[in-house]
Chains A and B, each alone.
Chain A
Amino acid sequence: MTRFILTRIASAIPTLILVSIAVFGLLRFIPGDPAALMLGDLAKPGQVEAMRIQMGLDKPVVAQYLIWVGNALTGDFGKSISTGQDVLPLILNAFSVSASIVLLGVLIAALIAVPAGMLAAWRQNSPGDVGVIAVSTILLSIPSFWLGLMLLLVFGLHLGWLPVIGYVPFSQGFWPALVYIVLPVTTLVLSEAGPIARMARASTIEVARLEYITHARAKGLSEPAVMWRHAFKNAFAPTLTLIGFVLGSLLGGIAVIETVFTLPGLGRLLVDAIYARDYPVVQGTMLFVAAIYVVVNLIVDLLYPFLDPRVAA
């Protein structure tokens, strides 16, 4: 198993290299110039050029890449072009924000959606099933930024129950932090619960018709027991893939939700950096996001054999 983990991590290295090259190349390929953005309409000819030299952007792209990789290997991801801050702490701070919301949100979404989807499948075509389908489909069709704004309007403005903006890290106390992330987490829960519930329902329907389920019933097990002990593990595998995917992509930043609720998360960091053509930040963040993605997938792969012993890890 340890070997498996090590090989998996080793096999992620080419992925990371691929990502870094693609990001590096694409960034320099798309129009837009960090120096120009910094100067805006105040720029005078020559000033942009001077700024580029100062930023080290005048060197050939390959040389820039090698310099960057070399520094990155020593843990130096450079400094942000627009704010001059070190990239790594910038990323880690932003990640802690995104991660606490995403983990909480996806966890709650899964805890609600997976049982709901499975229950719906179990009572296929019952009113409960129709209800779950309807709710999950409706949730699925609501844009999350819109949902977030609505929540903001209702709970933040009309009712005034919750703060509208800002973020307090958990290190500054549990309750204050909680108050600030209730709305973003709720938005995330609502927008992620739809697909998860549908996936759980579909795969449970597949499993529910298998012979061993009938056999479990023949043992006199109650329906919840049949479902929990026999259907769950088998039906959960595809859902786990989906959850893994959702986690992997969300941990890389929930730009929209972060923007609506003004959370200083990874997604916003990345989007802002892309718009500002803040190359070091984009590159560092991308590498980080790719690494997160690899780790989440590794965990999913490690969990898989527990759900389906026939699939050897």
Chain B
Amino acid sequence: MQTIPIEHGLILASILFSLGLIGVLTRRNVIFVLMSLEVMLNATGLAFIVASSRWGHAEGQVMFLVILTLAAAEVAIGLGLIIQMYRRHQTVDISVLSEMKG
């Protein structure tokens, strides 16, 4: 069995995390923002799996499951909010939400 250097897995996770962060910070379409958040959460899960593979334990997979449920709940609420926002403003531009008018 060949081996994989553990830092390669973690570097991959951090690259994915940074890409997701760029997406969250730059995009104005709120659906893209939510998708980039998913990328970030997924990168975190990858880091957990790499760590659990490092020790040969199952705890990392348990944490991944918790992240998965977190992501599912977050997406459900986030998409509900997007639908509500689209009904009120007829746009998916996230910057309209910064205009707080009473």
A and B: bona fide binding partners? no
